Amino acid sequence: MTFRWHDLLFEGAFRHPGELLPRHGVYIIWCDRGIGWAVLDVGQSDDVRARVLSHERKDCWRQHCAGAILYAVHYTPGMDEDGRRALEGQIRAMDRPTCGEV
């Protein structure tokens, strides 16, 4: 399933991070509170699956989400790390996620 967020096309939202592909991208961690979704975290990686599966802020996600944690990714083939970091920063500035900093 795909959806648009901040004019970008995202894949997901998945219930398990193992469903993310091992590709370059910018990911968003969501909390489905049953009455709407909240952004918990935003990040970027050259392998989003590995990054999210081994993420050091998983405890923060669980602490701030009483509902289901969901995972979505905007894949960025051909974009370098600086470009992904800039995109991550833009999303963070708009959504102000609960966990993590740029």
Sequential DSSP letters for 42-70: EEEESSHHHHHHT-TTHHHHHHT-SSEEE
Contact 23, 51 (CB under 8 A): no
The predicted-structure confidence for 21-37, as pLDDT tens digits, reads as follows 999 999 999 999 888 89
Evaluate if residue 68 carries a pLDDT over 90: yes
Average pLDDT over residues 41-53: 97
φ/ψ (deg, to 5) at 19 = -80, -15
> Which pLDDT value is given to residue 63?
95
φ/ψ (deg, to 5) at 85 = -65, -40
Indicate the domain borders of the chain: 2-95
Look at residues 73, 42, 38 and name the one whose alpha carbon lies nearest to residue 55: 42
Q: Report DSSP state, residue 79.
A: -
Evaluate if residue 76 carries a pLDDT over 80: yes
The predicted-structure confidence for 52-63, as pLDDT tens digits, reads as follows 999 999 999 999
> Which pLDDT value is given to residue 83?
97
pTM for the model stands at 0.93
Yes or no: domain 2-95 corresponds to CATH 1.10.1220? no
